[in-house]
Copies of this chain bind each other. A is one copy, B any other.
Amino acid sequence: MQKNTILALSLLGSQLINAQQQNLVKYVNPLIGTEKMGHTFPGATVPFGAVQLSPETDSIPYAVNHKYNPRVYDYCAGYRYEDSTITGFSHTHFNGTGHSDLGDFLIMPTVGKLQLNPGTAKNPESGYRSRFSHSTEKVEAGYYKVKLDDYNVIAEMTASNRVGFHQYTFPKSDQSHIVFDLNAGIYNYDDKNTWTYVRVVNDTLVTGYRQTRGWARNRTVYFAMTFSKPFKNYGQKNEDGQVDYKGFWRKWNQDQNFPLIEGKNIKMYFDFATNQDEKVKIKFAISPVSQSNALENLNAEIPHWNFEQVKEEAKQNWNKELNRIQIKASEDHKTNFYTAMYHAFINPTTYMDVNGQYKGLDQEVHQAKDFTNYTTFSLWDTYRALHPLFNIIQPTRNNDMIKSMMKHYDQNPIKMLPIWSHYANENWCMSGYHSVTLIADAIVKGTYNGDANKALDACIVTANKRDYEGIGDYIDKGYIPAEKNGTSVSNTLEYAFDDWSIAQAAKKLNRMDVYETFIKRSENWKNNYDSSIGFMRPKLADGSFKKEFDPLSTHGQGFIEGNTWNYSFFVPQDPIALMNIMGGKKSFTKKLDDLFSMHLPDEYFADTEDITREGIIGGYVHGNEPAHHVAYLYNWAGQPWKTQEKIRTILDMQYKPTPDGLGGNDDTGQMSAWYIFSALGFYSVQQGADEYAIGSPLVDHAVLNLENGKQFEIEVKNQSKKNVYIQKIELNGKKYSSFNLKHQDIVNGGKIVFYMGEKPKK
């Protein structure tokens, strides 16, 4: 290298370092969380991509003849590692949810006798499904491969943002088929399809749409599908039978090759003759708006048939995002960390075509100007750590997500920010109104680049919807009478915290009247605290506490996804006040100790949702979110070493580099974001404060490559499985004695050094 080149490079400074991308995708294992309750999917997607092209191993209907089937949630992600057959590959999946939907447009290559039903796992020959073995799977970020044993077909898939790319290597056969099942799906029930529509435009291009009333009551996904090779024949079977495009008049005497197909329950097939090892490729684009937009997406994103190129681009796309945080750690920790990064960067998903059009909550087509529209907002989960993480390392996307939420608000005749929203629908799932919290977090940290006052106004309006989930009573009485609402306590606690975040944003914007109102509301948590038992407890309209109450139970006690042992600590806005009300430091820390050390009897575990037995530490439930901040509360009680110890215990026990490695649903990245924060040594306890609580870093070293071009470096000296206790901290070369890390100290760039030891530093 010539001297002047070296000079030039050194002058480039941090940009150069940003450019030094490491090969991090090799640490991503998308199979983590596919076993037991993780509800992750193993298939191909790109960061925040609209398409998640992934295998389905079975499908449990939500209900048959309106009889609810609780096992439906086993298949939230379509794929379960425990299974031994694959029914096909579909294009849309949530990452790690506890509720479900999607699974649109299932494609399955088959050979031999044509079958249009999936058949059963016990008897795979009864349908189009195939046996498979994990030994033939190759699962990478942006790439999935498996051998379909029953057909001797190698299935490979990759994706761009809006296009799934299939590559099927067939044996020699005159009876090779692509089955296209528009009736298959996740969270299906008798009548889930509202309508499906297919146009066979020519012998390589098919377009159409699927409209469903699933969890989202009214969801339409349009598609355009191209084949690399013309099909010989095609046909359909409308299981509904009542209505198809040939109509009441039955004018056509052909069942095959009829190019316009409509109905509720359509299954199609496309026939090919294939040579040995012949590859049949399919590009499958989706759109929220139209068939023509789907086709435009397809041609814009993948205008060729080079599967390897798309696979490589997907990989580089992931690598670029993963390099936002570069760590040094053991191989297993790197796998956990970068798989967590991978899972954190799947949802929310792009919900906009390449031309900027998207469907709004008003079911109208809108044109996005100067932002990317996102959907899949599981906000009860993600306001805690995922969006705060984005606020640091994905601020552009976090801004666009908030703008998407503001569009939701504008398009919503109810004028309410999203609660749980996907695909232009509001699902009203879980308690609280946490969109206000992540918006406040962005306002307070100064990262929101939209109209902050308008966003705060939307938060205020949302927080005053008196007819929603007891908000009126909450405002009037300071709590929600237990008679009126099944989750009266979790709602009150979460509203109070959300109100505190609104107050912080108001303060930042110097709107002190708003601040006063909401800071007062933020104290409402006190109204559900029963000092006689030392727990949060449902309160009746007459002001008395509900008599029958079981602190160990999750159901029917006024909470959701957590018992009062977990929820009683849900006052992140004021841990000191909580400590005081609980009897002071000693009493408070004892209660925290008890939480982590108690035994939760099996009968109580059984009614704890969405987690595995391993998802519990004592009575602390990490597999659900309400207590995600709790281990950090020791900091406020002057026992940070217990935070450090608990954090490392949770990191070790709840995250493993194996398919069953997650102790509960990944919850669209919240569990993963908790891991990323905590592994780096800090966590967002108070969304809406401009600081983070320090825990115990798991990494040996980390660099956060920020979008502003700056870097924040984390060095962890003497870190080991035993050396989990912080002995000393230096920030930018100076001793740092606080257990809070300022947001500005991160985004301004700099370096923090943790000195670790095996003994608590009391």
Q: Which residues from B are CB-within-8-Å of A365?
A: 290, 365
Q: Nearest residue in B to A473 (C-beta to C-beta)?
A: B253
Complex CA distance for A248 and B258, rounded to whole angstroms = 39
Least CB distance, A508 to chain B, in whole angstroms: 30
Chain A 417-435 interface residues, beta-carbon cutoff 8 Å to B = 419, 426-429
A468 within 8 A of B: yes
A581 within 8 A of B: no
Q: Which of A8-16, A193-201, A325-333, A530-538 forms part of the interface with chain B? A: A193-201
Decide: A260 near B467, CB < 8 A? Known: A195-B213, A218-B197, A249-B427.
Answer: no
A484 within 8 A of B: yes
A251 within 8 A of B: yes
Q: Are B364 and A291 in contact (CB under 8 A)?
A: yes
Q: Nearest residue in B to A469 (C-beta to C-beta)?
A: B251
Q: Are B262 and A429 in contact (CB under 8 A)?
A: no
A254 within 8 A of B: yes
A242 within 8 A of B: yes
Complex CA distance for A258 and B428, rounded to whole angstroms = 14
A362 within 8 A of B: yes
Least CB distance, A197 to chain B, in whole angstroms: 6
Complex CA distance for A199 and B254, rounded to whole angstroms = 43
Question: Which of A211, A246, A251 neighbours the largest number of chain B CB atoms within 10 Å of its CB?
Answer: A251
Task: Kindly report how many copies of this chain are found in the complex they form together.
Answer: 2
A259 within 8 A of B: yes
A243 within 8 A of B: yes
Least CB distance, A465 to chain B, in whole angstroms: 9
Q: Which residues from B are CB-within-8-Å of A217?
A: 243-245, 247, 262-263
Q: Which residues from B are CB-within-8-Å of A259?
A: 413-414
Pick from B207, B249, B419, B467: contact of A253, CB under 8 Å: B467
Least CB distance, A302 to chain B, in whole angstroms: 22
A412 within 8 A of B: yes
Q: Are A363 and B243 in contact (CB under 8 A)?
A: no
Q: Which residues from B are CB-within-8-Å of A426?
A: 247, 260
Chain A 460-485 interface residues, beta-carbon cutoff 8 Å to B = 467-470, 484
Q: Which residues from B are CB-within-8-Å of A734?
A: none
Complex CA distance for A428 and B199, rounded to whole angstroms = 17
Question: Which of A247, A290, A469, A470 neighbours the largest number of chain B CB atoms within 10 Å of its CB?
Answer: A247
Q: Are B197 and A363 in contact (CB under 8 A)?
A: yes
Residue interface bits A354-372, CB-to-B below 8 A is 1, else 0: 0000000011110000000
Decide: A428 near B195, CB < 8 A? Known: A217-B243, A218-B262, A413-B259.
Answer: no
A292 within 8 A of B: yes
Decide: A363 near B291, CB < 8 A? Known: A199-B413, A217-B245, A249-B428.
Answer: yes
Q: Nearest residue in B to A289 (C-beta to C-beta)?
A: B365
A318 within 8 A of B: no
A66 within 8 A of B: yes
Pick from B194, B201, B247, B363: contact of A428, CB under 8 Å: B247
Q: Are A484 and B414 in contact (CB under 8 A)?
A: no
Decide: A243 near B364, CB < 8 A? Known: A199-B413, A413-B201.
Answer: no
Pick from B245, B247, B291, B413: contact of A200, CB under 8 Å: B413
Q: Nearest residue in B to A263 (C-beta to C-beta)?
A: B217
Question: Which of A66, A258, A414, A470 neighbours the largest number of chain B CB atoms within 10 Å of its CB?
Answer: A414
Q: Are B428 and A484 in contact (CB under 8 A)?
A: no
A209 within 8 A of B: yes
Q: Which residues from B are CB-within-8-Å of A211?
A: 194-195
Q: Which residues from B are CB-within-8-Å of A197?
A: 218, 363
Interface size on A, residues (CB 8 A): 51
Residue interface bits A273-307, CB-to-B below 8 A is 1, else 0: 00000000000000000111000000000000000
Decide: A362 near B199, CB < 8 A? Known: A251-B468, A467-B253, A468-B252.
Answer: yes
Pick from B260, B362, B414, B484: contact of A413, CB under 8 Å: B260
Pick from B252, B413, B429: contact of A467, CB under 8 Å: B252
Q: Nearest residue in B to A198 (C-beta to C-beta)?
A: B413
Least CB distance, A356 to chain B, in whole angstroms: 16
Decide: A412 near B247, CB < 8 A? Known: A195-B218, A197-B363.
Answer: no
Q: Are A414 and B260 in contact (CB under 8 A)?
A: yes
Complex CA distance for A484 and B252, rounded to whole angstroms = 11
Least CB distance, A106 to chain B, in whole angstroms: 21
Chain A 591-614 interface residues, beta-carbon cutoff 8 Å to B = none
Chain A 202-233 interface residues, beta-carbon cutoff 8 Å to B = 207, 209, 211, 213, 215, 217-218
Q: Are A428 and B253 in contact (CB under 8 A)?
A: no
Q: Nearest residue in B to A362 (C-beta to C-beta)?
A: B199
Q: Nearest residue in B to A290 (C-beta to C-beta)?
A: B364
Q: Nearest residue in B to A247 (C-beta to C-beta)?
A: B428
Complex CA distance for A469 and B292, rounded to whole angstroms = 31
Q: Are A254 and B195 in contact (CB under 8 A)?
A: no
Q: Are B413 and A213 in contact (CB under 8 A)?
A: no
Complex CA distance for A623 and B201, rounded to whole angstroms = 40
Least CB distance, A692 to chain B, in whole angstroms: 32
Least CB distance, A214 to chain B, in whole angstroms: 10
Complex CA distance for A54 and B419, rounded to whole angstroms = 42
Q: Which residues from B are CB-within-8-Å of A194?
A: 194-195, 211
Q: Are A429 and B290 in contact (CB under 8 A)?
A: no
Q: Are A427 and B467 in contact (CB under 8 A)?
A: no
Decide: A292 near B245, CB < 8 A? Known: A195-B194, A254-B467, A413-B200.
Answer: no
Q: Which residues from B are CB-within-8-Å of A245?
A: 217
Least CB distance, A226 to chain B, in whole angstroms: 15
Q: Which residues from B are CB-within-8-Å of A247?
A: 217, 426-428
Complex CA distance for A429 and B468, rounded to whole angstroms = 50
Least CB distance, A498 to chain B, in whole angstroms: 15
Q: Which residues from B are CB-within-8-Å of A414?
A: 258-260
Least CB distance, A100 to chain B, in whole angstroms: 12
Complex CA distance for A62 and B467, rounded to whole angstroms = 41
List 7 A-B pairs, minimum CB-CB distance, nearest first. Answer: A259-B413, A249-B428, A251-B428, A254-B467, A199-B413, A251-B469, A217-B262
Task: Report 16 cross-chain contacts, Cβ distance below 8 Å, ordered by A residue.
Answer: A194-B211, A197-B218, A199-B362, A207-B362, A217-B244, A217-B263, A246-B428, A247-B427, A249-B427, A249-B429, A251-B419, A251-B468, A260-B413, A260-B414, A291-B362, A292-B364
Q: Assuming A249-B428, A252-B469, what are 14 further A-B pairs, CB within 8 angstroms?
A: A194-B194, A194-B211, A195-B218, A199-B362, A217-B244, A217-B245, A218-B262, A251-B468, A258-B414, A258-B467, A260-B412, A291-B362, A291-B363, A292-B364
